[in-house]
Amino acid sequence: MTKADLVEKIAEQVSLSKKESEMVVNTVFQSIIDALANGDKVELRGFGSFRTRQRNSRTGRNPKTGDKVSVPTKSVPFFKPGKQLKKLVNE
């Protein structure tokens, strides 16, 4: 399912225009992005939770030259599915 499919599904289900549905989807996604950027956790009961995880610095390798490269510490987004979502997917 793509973002466009999601917008179309919402438009059908809630009787909104596609433009209004797209605004709803964009607002939800942007709210999740903003919360993660602020270091907050986003929990959607029954679906799952979004949070950031810290990746430690490490020594990598440049695939072109083979030289060793220092990769700095960084935060990455992480999604943990909820029990209900896991159950539905595995049925």
Ordered by where they begin, the domains of the chain are: 1-40 (4.10.520.10), 43-91 (4.10.520.10)
| Rounded Cα distance, 80 and 52, in Å | 11
What confidence tens digit (pLDDT) does each residue in 2-47 have?
A: 999 999 999 999 989 999 999 999 999 999 999 999 999 999 998 9
Strand-pairing partners, residue 49, are 43, 80
| Rounded Cα distance, 60 and 84, in Å | 38
SS3 state at 12: helix
Start-to-end CA span in the chain (Å)? 19
Predicted pLDDT at 78: 96
What confidence tens digit (pLDDT) does each residue in 42-78 have?
A: 999 989 999 999 999 999 999 999 999 999 999 999 9
Q: What is the pTM of this model?
A: 0.79
Give me Rg for the CA atoms of the chain.
19
SS3 state at 1: coil
